[in-house]
Structure 1
Amino acid sequence: IYTLEFVGSVRCVKETARDRLIDGQWQLHKGIDAATIAAVHDELYRRTLHGGWPDAVLTPGVHVRTAGRLATTKVELHLEHTLQDSRSRLTTDAVVLATGYRERPLDRILAGLDPYMRRDNQERPRIDEDYRLVLDPAVTGTAYVQNAETHTHGVGAPDLGLAAWRSAIILNALTGGEAYALPARTAFTTFGLTQRAHVPPPRQAPALTPLVDDRR
């Protein structure tokens, strides 16, 4: 889903369908990815091959309510299991805070443009295919955003792997040309029944010039 084609397909569906799609894809960018958890599982399995059991525990569905120092070298975690509605405590030597980030509203940053911004049915800013805020025609300037368009471009919006591609689109829109050439296609999947799959022409292999002419 982190391809140019998928981002374009998200923009083509109705707002209500797009919201359902994004809500259903939260696990793709708000948790451990499949490759990482598979690697962890393989390593734990490898440690059981010669008997015994690895000294590690994977515990999904657990919420850390509070954390505090215990003496000078320990940390005590107050835990809650969200499905079992049970609580417990865990004393550990260290805690890794892999909390990610929280998306914040743009209201304060864009307060000056608020009277001129066009919004969708959920009062969210409308953003076009070039990552440009849709403003009142009376506004002669333009404003571009990145990582603020999940509701219009899908869950790939905060993905850093697409940052260069988004930046290239914005720069091309600003210059009115092709400052950065973008690929015609990046995915083998075609999203949608009416979308025609554009197949780039095959590349021609360059003719090789021999370094030594050994013809007799």
Structure 2
Amino acid sequence: MEHVSYDIVGVGAGPFNLSIAALLHPLKDVRHRFFERQQNYSWHPGMLLPNTTIQNSFLKDLVSFADPTNPFSFLAFLHANKRLYEYVNAGFPRTSRVEFNQYLQWVARQLPAVLWGQSVEAIERHEAGLRITTNETTCIARNLVVGTGPSPAIPAMAEGLVGDHVFHSSRYLFNRDSLSRKRVAVIGGGQSGAEIVLDMINRGVLPSEIHWISSRRGIAPLDESHFANEWFTPAYIEYFHGLAPSKKAELLEQHRLSSDGISPETIEALYQTLYRLRFLETGPACRVMHSRVVQNIRTSQGGYVLDIAQLDTDQTETVTVDKIVLATGYRQNPLPAVLESIAGDVEFSDGNPVVNLDFSLHYNGVGKVFVVNAARTSHGVAEPNLSLNAWRAATIINSVLGREHYASPQSNSVLDLSGDSYLAGAA
């Protein structure tokens, strides 16, 4: 049986693959198709909290850094929805997460190459590339882009408890009402944990107790300094990619707070809210428990007992709660699970697949297999971030075309990377 063949097939249509689809849309001679198992687009729906914002400039949208004239930019979205003047006049320091989700949905609705409600069930080698089988169709991909994203990271101690009373932060909004008048533990000291604690306190019907538990030594702010932002540039990605694996591991740890800290606005709002609770208003008791590790979770009389180790004093304590929110981040498999069938044809090094600078795997087969949001160990701290979304999409498209359709940024870093001759202020 002969199947339809495409130049590029994408698995998943999150922001990263959506960026590729948006930049491919004007290229009528490139046959492409993207399969997304969701029926409708929604970006982290369980954490679309009011008054939360994205941590990037609105210019770092799906397309602008690769093609500022593309009709799927955030500015084009504002213009099409007759709110451009009002948005500018509002003077928002950051774009709200709700509005950025509206933008992504607006783009998704206009891309006929993205098929919704289609889950990829099998990927197999084929003489012309890869055979892709979904719940509705089968096709041939000359090149494949996998953007399935990470999965919620559930600590081993909580794996058997996940449900209505113990749930990951990605399910927060769907379970929020059940937290009213309950004793709640939030495990995890990053941005999601901080936003959830702040949201619970500011709701009309509050939990009776809040225990925010974090293994971090403090409530650390996101590093958004100018030089830290140089790590989120194409020039730095190219530099990072060429380093030895041991050096990459060191840098990833050093750069952690540039992507894994709490935004200064959230820290300020949370501290001021805790001040009001302590001195000016009545509300739930809220403990900020830093430098602590939850070692075990036990069920007890309809609730849960958390056995906690204090890292600074080596003491132990227990906390009894009714509900637990796991703000424990996400976990990405070294190789996306959908590619397990061709894992034997992928080169690995130190347990991770080898990823080329153009985001393609070292793959022993016909065509190229690209991964997005799955190359942090090879490309650096910016890989899971929206900052380089459009550039990465353009890089992948250029690689498939074998030519530079989307021009490279042609910019030097302010940092001196490997003896670059660029000097600030030099002619």
Q: What's the TM-score bracket when you normalise by the shorter of the two chains?
A: 0.5 to 0.7
Q: How far off is 1:58 after superposition? A: 2.0
Instruction: Give 1:192's aligned residue.
Output: 417
**Is 1:127 aligned to 2:352, yes or no?**
no
From 324, 331, 335, the equivalent of 1:95 is 324
Q: How far apart, CA to CA, are the structure 2 residues paired with 1:198 and 1:167?
A: 30
Instruction: Give 1:156's aligned residue.
Output: 382
Change (3 A) 1:71 1:152: same
Matched residue count: 192
Q: Secondary structure at the residue paired with 1:57? A: strand
Please, which runs of 5 or more residues in structure 2 have no aligned partner?
Answer: 1-230
**Is 1:84 aligned to 2:313, yes or no?**
yes
User: What is the 5 A alignment of 1:1-216?
Assistant: 1-29=231-259, 31-35=260-264, 36-44=266-274, 55-67=285-297, 71=301, 75-92=304-321, 94-106=323-335, 109-114=339-344, 116-120=345-349, 122-136=350-364, 139-178=365-404, 180=406, 183-185=409-411, 189-197=414-422
Change (3 A) 1:198 1:164: farther
Q: How far off is 1:153 after superposition? A: 0.6
Contact 1:6–1:191 under 8 Å retained in 2: no
Q: How far apart, CA to CA, are the structure 2 residues paired with 1:107 and 1:44?
A: 41
Q: How far off is 1:98 after superposition? A: 0.9
Change (3 A) 1:190 1:69: same
Instruction: Give 1:207's aligned residue.
Output: none
Q: Secondary structure at the residue paired with 2:232? A: coil
Q: How far apart, CA to CA, are the structure 1 residues paired with 2:340 and 2:390?
A: 24
Instruction: Give 1:211's aligned residue.
Output: none
Contact 2:334–2:352 under 8 Å retained in 1: no
Q: How far apart, CA to CA, are the structure 2 residues paired with 1:13 and 1:80?
A: 37
Aligned alpha-carbon RMSD (Å): 3.7
Change (3 A) 1:161 1:97: farther
Contact 1:75–1:93 under 8 Å retained in 2: yes
Q: How far apart, CA to CA, are the structure 2 residues paired with 1:119 and 1:102?
A: 19
Please, which runs of 5 or more residues in structure 1 have no aligned partner?
Answer: 200-216
Letter of the 1:103 partner, please give it.
Q
Q: How far off is 1:179 after superposition? A: 5.0
Deviations along 1:8-40, one digit per CA (max 9) or x if unpaired, are 2211323332232224334444x5435243543
Contact 2:297–2:304 under 8 Å retained in 1: yes
> Higher strand share goes to which structure?
2
TM-score for the superposition, normalised by structure 2 = 0.37
- Larger Rg over CA atoms: 1
Q: Secondary structure at the residue paired with 1:171? A: helix
Deviations along 1:75-124, one digit per CA (max 9) or x if unpaired, are 5433222343322122345433211112323286345342x43444x253
Change (3 A) 1:76 1:123: closer
Change (3 A) 1:32 1:55: farther
Change (3 A) 1:125 1:51: closer
Q: How far off is 1:178 after superposition? A: 4.7
Query: Runs (4+) of structure 1 moved beyond 6 Å?
Result: 46-52
Q: How far apart, CA to CA, are the structure 2 residues paired with 1:125 and 1:112?
A: 12
Contact 1:9–1:191 under 8 Å retained in 2: no
Contact 1:5–1:190 under 8 Å retained in 2: no
Q: Secondary structure at the residue paired with 1:143? A: strand
Q: How far apart, CA to CA, are the structure 1 residues paired with 2:305 and 2:246?
A: 44
